Amino acid sequence: MTHPVSAWRVASKEKVVDAVLAITRELNGGNRQDISEAIYETLRTEHRTLQQAFWSAMLMAQIDYSEMHTDARNEAAVELAKAVRELAIERNIDRGLPYI
């Protein structure tokens, strides 16, 4: 029998994958500024701890992304991720932001 927490984590991961795919599909031909504003407007009304958790997850994703193979289409994104990784290491937050 699957432990309930394990089942939740799998379901949660699937939901996150679906959410990220939904955003990337919207970006395919969509207006980046509108999408950025929608993300901000949605996030800013969430509980502050969840805001921090969201940005922590984005930080850790960028740190992982900094090792991504590049070509001209994602070179700037990977270079940004590398800069973020270096700043995170310098500030001792390369394992995520504090959970408060």
Asked if the model's pLDDT at residue 2 lies above 50, the reply is no
Closest to 58 (Cα-Cα) out of 32, 40, 33: 40
In the chain, where are the structural domains located?
1-45, 47-100
Closest to 63 (Cα-Cα) out of 96, 20, 36: 96
- pLDDT band at 9, cuts 50/70/90? low
Own/partner contacts of 13-19, CB < 8 Å, gap of 24 or more, are none
48-65 vs 75-90: helix crossing angle, rounded to 10: 120
Asked if the model's pLDDT at residue 10 lies above 70, the reply is no
